[in-house]
Amino acid sequence: MEEKKIDVKKALDERLLTGTLIALARKKMVPIHKHSIWYYMGALLLILFMIQMVTGPVLLFYYKPAAETAYQSIAEIMVKVPYGWLIRSVHHWSSNLMIMIAFVHFFSTFLVKAYRRPREFTWLTGMVMFLLVLFLGYTGYTLPYDERAFFALNVGTDMPGAIPVVGEYVLKFLRGGENVGLHTLNRFFALHVGVLPLALLAVLAIHIVMVQLHGMSIPVSVEKKADAEKRKIPAKPMFPHFVWHDAINGLLLVGLLFTLAVCMPSELGPVIDYLKPAPVGVKPDWFFLWVYQILKWIPTYVLGIEGEILGITGLALVAGAIFCAPFIDWKSQRNERSPLFTIFGLVSLLVFLVFTAIGFFF
Interface pick for other proteins out of 118, 255, 299, 314 (rule CB under 8 A): 255
Q: At what angle do helices 41-60 and 196-214 cross, to 10 degrees?
A: 160
**Options 21, 209, 262, 278; binder of other proteins; rule CB under 8 A:** 262
Q: Is 169 in the site for other proteins (CB under 8 A)?
A: yes
Q: Measured from the CB of residue 61, what is the shortest distance to other proteins in angstroms?
A: 17
| Interaction of residue 237 with other proteins, rule CB under 8 A | yes
Give yes or no for residue 25 binding other proteins (CB under 8 A): no
360 binds other proteins, rule: CB under 8 A: no
**Rounded to whole angstroms, how far apart are CA atoms 342 and 331?**
11
Q: How would DSSP label each residue in 338-353?
A: -HHHHHHHHHHHHHHH
- Tell me: does residue 79 bind other proteins (CB under 8 A): yes
CA 168 centroid distance within chain? 26
Q: Is residue 87 involved in binding other proteins (CB under 8 A)? A: no
d(CA 323, CA 317): 10
Ramachandran category for residue 230: left, alpha or beta (phi over 0 → left; psi -120 to 50 → alpha):
left
Spatial contact of 90 and 98, defined as CB atoms under 8 Å apart: no
Among residues 120, 181, 342, 351, the one that binds other proteins under rule CB under 8 A: 181
> What pairs with residue 301 in β-bridges?
306
Q: Which residue, 244 or 297, has its beta carbon nearer to other proteins?
A: 244
CB 319 within 8 A of CB 202: no
Query: Is 133 or 162 the residue whose CB approaches other proteins more closely?
Result: 162
DSSP string, 157-209: HHGGGGSTTTHHHHHHHHHTSSSS-HHHHHHHHHIIIIIHHHHHHHHHHHHHH
Is 301 an interacting residue with respect to other proteins (CB under 8 A)?
A: no
Pick from 206, 265, 307, 333 the residue near other proteins by CB under 8 A.
265
- Does residue 121 belong to the site contacting other proteins (CB under 8 A)? no
Measured CA to CA, the distance from residue 217 to residue 211 in angstroms comes to 9
Nearby residues of 16 by Cβ (< 8 Å), 6 or more positions away: none
What residues between 55 and 74 interact with other proteins by CB under 8 A? 67-68, 71-72
For residue 10, state whether it binds other proteins (rule: CB under 8 A).
no
Residues found near other proteins in the complex (CB under 8 A): 29, 31, 67-68, 71-72, 75-76, 78-80, 85, 164-166, 169-170, 172-173, 175-184, 218, 232-237, 240-241, 244-245, 247-248, 251-252, 254-255, 258-259, 262-263, 265, 267-268, 270-271, 273-275
